[in-house]
């Protein structure tokens, strides 16, 4: 059964206000894409599926992310694209997934993508792995409890920007950028978020910056 906090998140998503920096261009520019926010019940409570993109990739190299990618002509909209990409990247069995809803489309200027986050519940979990090694280095089910642990939360400062942005250190991953921003909003909206020290600000590590500069 889909937990109430997830159905509430899906119901409230239609009223979510998209920040100006993430609003898609009004002229329709940008490639349509989708990501899968797949929640399940793991040994340590609710968790979410994340991948780490290959360090050899051209865009977002080495960066933790939600499974997903661009819409293909044969996809059944964002939901179909998110499930297909997750299957290709992690070996996920879509039959074990119940899609609950979608969040508003978000614009990622770096990759020129208009991304629809798809909310889903993993009612019948299966084994997952880096099914597409050219694109994905690893796959992790990250417990929500670890994401909201104040010790794992920080803000990252980008060299070319004055503002800092939410980030997470979990399971050996530094989750930042678009993925961290979406997670930050979702954790707050579901009530899972715990108070954390927002004055803990660090610079984006040089090795991460080098990978990011390639995309």
| Residue with tokens 């993925």, as numbered in its chain | 179
Instruction: Assess contact for 33 and 71: CB atoms under 8 A.
Output: yes
* Domain boundaries of the chain, sorted by first residue: 4-214
Mean pLDDT of 173-182: 95
Q: For 59-111, how does the pLDDT look when each residue is reduced to its tens digit (9 = 90+)?
A: 556 799 999 999 999 999 999 999 999 999 999 999 999 999 999 999 998 88
Amino acid 214: pLDDT: 57
- Residues whose CB falls within 8 Å of the CB of residue 41, separated by 6 or more in sequence, listed in order: 47, 122
Amino acid 16: pLDDT: 85
Instruction: Assess contact for 154 and 200: CB atoms under 8 A.
Output: yes
Q: For 100-136, how does the pLDDT look when each residue is reduced to its tens digit (9 = 90+)?
A: 999 999 999 888 999 999 999 999 999 999 999 989 9
Cα separation, 184 vs 176, in Å, equals 10
User: Can you name the CATH fold of 4-214?
Assistant: Nucleoside Triphosphate Pyrophosphohydrolase (3.90.79)
- The Cα-based distances of 182 to 37, 41, 173 in angstroms read 10, 20, 16
Which tokens belong to 59? 């865009």
Q: For 189-214, how does the pLDDT look when each residue is reduced to its tens digit (9 = 90+)?
A: 999 999 999 999 999 888 777 766 65
Amino acid 65: pLDDT: 96
What is the bridge-based pairing of β-strands 68-70 and 113-122? Answer: unpaired
Instruction: Assess contact for 21 and 105: CB atoms under 8 A.
Output: no
pTM of the predicted model as reported, rounded to 2 decimal places? 0.94
DSSP secondary structure code for residue 21 in this structure: G
């Amino acid at each position: 059964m889909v937990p109430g906090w997830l159905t509430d998140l899906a119901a409230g998503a239609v009223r979510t206000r998209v920040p100006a920096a993430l609003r898609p261009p009004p002229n329709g520019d940008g490639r349509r894409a989708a990501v899968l926010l797949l929640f399940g019940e793991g040994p340590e409570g609710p968790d979410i599926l994340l991948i780490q993109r290959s360090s050899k990739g051209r865009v977002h190299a080495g960066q933790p992310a939600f499974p997903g990618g661009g819409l293909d002509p044969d996809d059944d909209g964002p939901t179909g694209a998110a499930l297909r990409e997750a299957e290709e990247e992690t070996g996920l069995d879509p039959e074990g997934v119940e899609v609950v809803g979608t969040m508003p489309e978000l614009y990622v200027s770096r990759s020129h993508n208009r991304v629809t986050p798809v909310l889903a519940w993993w009612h019948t979990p299966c084994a997952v792995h880096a099914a597409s090694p050219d694109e994905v280095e690893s796959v992790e089910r990250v417990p929500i409890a670890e994401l909201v642990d104040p010790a794992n939360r920080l803000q990252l400062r980008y060299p070319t920007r004055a503002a800092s942005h939410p980030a997470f250190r979990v399971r050996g991953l530094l989750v930042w950028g678009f993925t961290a921003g979406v997670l930050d909003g979702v954790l707050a909206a579901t009530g899972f978020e715990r108070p954390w020290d927002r004055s803990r600000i660090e610079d984006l590590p040089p090795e991460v910056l080098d990978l990011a500069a390639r995309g």
